[in-house]
A and B are shown apart, each in its own frame.
Chain A
Amino acid sequence: MTVSPAYPKVQTAPGQPAPRRRRLGRKLAPWLFLAPGALMFLVYVIIPIVESMWISFYQWDGMSAKVWVGISNYLELLDDDAFYTSLKNNIIWLVLYMLAIPFGLLIALFLNQSVRGIRLYKSLFFFPFVISQVVVGLIFSWFYAPGFGLFFELTKWLDGTGIALLANPNTVTYGIIAAGLWPQIAYCMILYLTGLNSVAPDQIEAARLDGAKGIKMLWYVVLPQLRPATFIALVVTVIGALRSFDLVSIMTSGGPFGSSRVLSYYMYEQALSEYGYRMGYGAAIAVVLFAIMMIFISGFIWKMWRDERGL
């Protein structure tokens, strides 16, 4: 903590040590201010994480007594086809969700111009992010629905039989990701749009005088200035991909025959759904998901820490 320059000088003469009470107060103040947040974080984040890990060593249906089973939940995971399906789908989600970043940038660049009614266009592009994921899921499942969906009718017109994207285990995950990308692109777009506002016009001017334009201008002049926006876009997209749950739940409930499950949905199915109530097993899945998230989270924190140090 640095002493604010507006600190009233009258109370202590310069050079004289501050009274003990104030020194103590100064040490204590940051902790007091942090306390409410830290307490919340402890109660609602740290303790549940530890508890989940603890529960993952038990067999428990949520009602009867817990039975200690050691690591057998984890051993069972290793031999569980559904777990590997979920893991694979999570990786597909992670990779394909990254498309939201370049697409978002593209649309942001396209919208970053001053023509009549640009605000309206911007808000239209931002619209999918505003509506609930549940609505997005419903719209897309109707879009794909065999029998009456637009996508199905289009493919029927092309190949005669029609493609029911959500009924095929090989295509279902891609169908859901496409639905997820729609709002995610809008999110990245808005991040880039605000980022573009802070691009220094004099640098653009200078680059233009030096003859840079098009892709080169974008790559060497604009993008470096958008780094903070890219970083945030990356963070929200990774988190969005890993916690993909609502769309899977709305569009397929993990089906057909469990082929579109992701870890978060599988955890929910095992621990909390109608056919589940295996708290221990669900907790074990949660711990695995947490471990995967930790890889990314530590990466992000490390980067932020480095940036703050100015390395």
Chain B
Amino acid sequence: MNILKTTALAALMGALAFPAFAEQRTLTFNTDASDPAPKAAFEALVKGFEAKYPDVHVVVNTFDHEGYKTAMRNFLSADPPDVMTWYSGNRMLPFVKSGQFMDISDVYADNNLKEQLASALKAVSSDGKEYGVPYSYYQWGIYYNKDVYKKAGVEVPKTWDQFIENCKKFKAIGVECLTTGTKALWPAAGIFDYLDLRQNGYEFHMKLTNGEIPWTDPRVKDVFAQWKKVLPYTTSNAAAIDWQDAASNLVQGKAANYVMGNFAVATFKEGGMTDATLGFMDFPEINPDIPRAEEAPTESMHIPSGAKNVADAKKFMAYVASPEVQTQMNDILGQLPVNKNSTVADDPYLQAGFKILSTAPGGISQFFDRDAPAQMAKAGMEGFQEFMAYPDHLDQILDRLEKIRKRVYKN
């Protein structure tokens, strides 16, 4: 319905508004930006592009999130759009390998993008070629309730040991130190990623998600040993809770900390938190010798190989990559622009995120389910969920993950 309506409306408006441009070219653009903020950001993007290139008319097809993941496989083979949104990293690779996404290295070369988009370049490259333009990303970290911190009389921790010490004080006043809801699996992966980045560092984490290190490695066990320290102070029954429900624990002051991505700020604020009560901190340090790495999932745009209007699609890519456009889009999205010449919105969480990401010496990982291939990601996240409920099962979990690793990375 949505697609039909948008297309019909666009066609109608096109017919009414520009009767003179009979030979106008069309550019089809498929996206899963169905939430209010992303939708508004893309509308602004399309409007700006059409103003700059009046002879191109952009037809936007908006899909819902979950439907998009299935629909894209169909439209890529049946009726590919000229431009589409997707995610970078390992989520992009299957489409690159099967030749569904176009190599757009020339757009990078012509517009000097390699330098401007350097921070997320790895995430959209494969074998030294670029396959997409990253337009937005957001940081992960720990969001905390400032009121609860005051009530417990504790400081914002710098190290993991301090964090655990704080947990004891939170417990004393009947507050859960760390909350999460892992029903959808991925929230647990955020905790694992950060523990591994802090314990073993970026290189190790990338090798692990790339299948180069066995899950039974003692260094992996160290990560879970660190995790085990916080489990007694973590929301129980997390496996049955949605992440939004866990967010209300933080809002209501039943919990002190939440490892989350910046998109959750909107949820916290809807629940009634303000800049005065909601705090953000970088994940505390575990091993001081490890250069600090951060986690920031990147969103990107791609040109399908079957695109009909490649010339305009490439113009669109260059337009999306430009600093002004990224500034404007991310202001609406409430996220961080990738282009280093863009400006970050005047928002304390975005500013804090920008600061930790732009100064991270270790590197920037995507997210467990984008760094690891799909099957490994799914099994891994199930393992994390199980570990949180049954820490004693660790050896079984790791043996199982190791079995899957050997199979998944075989080819």
Q: Are A146 and B237 in contact (CB under 8 A)?
A: yes
Q: Are B400 and A277 in contact (CB under 8 A)?
A: no
Question: Does A307 count as interface, using CB distance less than 8 angstroms?
Answer: no
Whole-angstrom distance between the Cβ of B289 and the nearest chain A Cβ: 33
A168 vs B375: C-alpha distance when bound (angstroms) = 24
Q: Are B94 and A257 in contact (CB under 8 A)?
A: no
B185 CB contacts on chain A under 8 angstroms: 253, 255
B residues 62-86 near A (Cβ < 8 Å) are 66, 69-70, 73, 76-77
A166 vs B240: C-alpha distance when bound (angstroms) = 6
Q: Which segment of A57-65, A121-129, A238-246, A296-304 sits at the interface?
A: A57-65
Whole-angstrom distance between the Cβ of A266 and the nearest chain B Cβ: 11
Q: Are A63 and B76 in contact (CB under 8 A)?
A: yes
Q: Are A147 and B183 in contact (CB under 8 A)?
A: no
B375 CB contacts on chain A under 8 angstroms: 275-276, 278
Known: A257-B385, A275-B375, A275-B377. A63 touches B73 (CB 8 A): yes
B residues 365-388 near A (Cβ < 8 Å) are 369, 374-375, 377-378, 382-383, 385-386
B386 contact from A147, A166, A256, Cβ within 8 A: A256
A278 vs B76: C-alpha distance when bound (angstroms) = 18
Known: A253-B183, A255-B385. A147 touches B241 (CB 8 A): yes
Q: Give the dominant DSSP class at B's interface.
A: helix
Question: Does A212 count as interface, using CB distance less than 8 angstroms?
Answer: no
A255 contact from B69, B94, B183, B400, Cβ within 8 A: B183
Of B66, B240, B245, which is in contact with the most chain A CB atoms at under 10 Å from its CB? Answer: B240
Q: Are B385 and A256 in contact (CB under 8 A)?
A: yes
B237 CB contacts on chain A under 8 angstroms: 146, 164, 167
Q: Are B240 and A258 in contact (CB under 8 A)?
A: no
Q: Are A272 and B239 in contact (CB under 8 A)?
A: no
B residues 234-290 near A (Cβ < 8 Å) are 236-241, 245
A residues 141-174 near B (Cβ < 8 Å) are 144-147, 164-169
B residues 115-165 near A (Cβ < 8 Å) are none
Q: Mark A275-291, 1 if CB is under 8 A from B, else 0.
A: 11110000000000000
B73 CB contacts on chain A under 8 angstroms: 62-63, 277
A61 CB contacts on chain B under 8 angstroms: 94, 98
Q: Are A274 and B245 in contact (CB under 8 A)?
A: no
Q: Are B374 and A256 in contact (CB under 8 A)?
A: no
Q: Are A253 and B184 in contact (CB under 8 A)?
A: yes
Question: Does A205 count as interface, using CB distance less than 8 angstroms?
Answer: no
Q: Are B378 and A256 in contact (CB under 8 A)?
A: no
Q: Are B382 and A258 in contact (CB under 8 A)?
A: yes
A242 vs B241: C-alpha distance when bound (angstroms) = 27
Question: Does A81 count as interface, using CB distance less than 8 angstroms?
Answer: yes
Whole-angstrom distance between the Cβ of A42 and the nearest chain B Cβ: 24
A272 vs B185: C-alpha distance when bound (angstroms) = 17
A66 vs B281: C-alpha distance when bound (angstroms) = 47
Q: Are B183 and A64 in contact (CB under 8 A)?
A: no
Q: Are A167 and B374 in contact (CB under 8 A)?
A: no
B239 CB contacts on chain A under 8 angstroms: 166-167, 255-257
B76 CB contacts on chain A under 8 angstroms: 63
Whole-angstrom distance between the Cβ of A259 and the nearest chain B Cβ: 8
A–B complex contacts, Cβ < 8 Å, 13 sampled = A63-B98, A76-B407, A145-B240, A145-B245, A146-B240, A166-B240, A167-B241, A256-B385, A257-B239, A257-B389, A258-B382, A272-B70, A274-B374
Q: Report A's interface with B, CB cutoff 8 A.
A: 61-64, 76, 81, 144-147, 164-169, 252-253, 255-258, 269, 272, 274-278
6 closest A-B pairs by CB? A256-B239, A167-B240, A275-B378, A164-B237, A257-B386, A167-B237
If A258-B382, A275-B377 are given as contacts, then 13 extra A-B residue pairs at C-beta distance below 8 Å, sorted by A number, are A61-B94, A62-B73, A63-B73, A63-B95, A63-B98, A64-B97, A76-B407, A81-B400, A146-B236, A146-B241, A257-B383, A274-B374, A277-B374
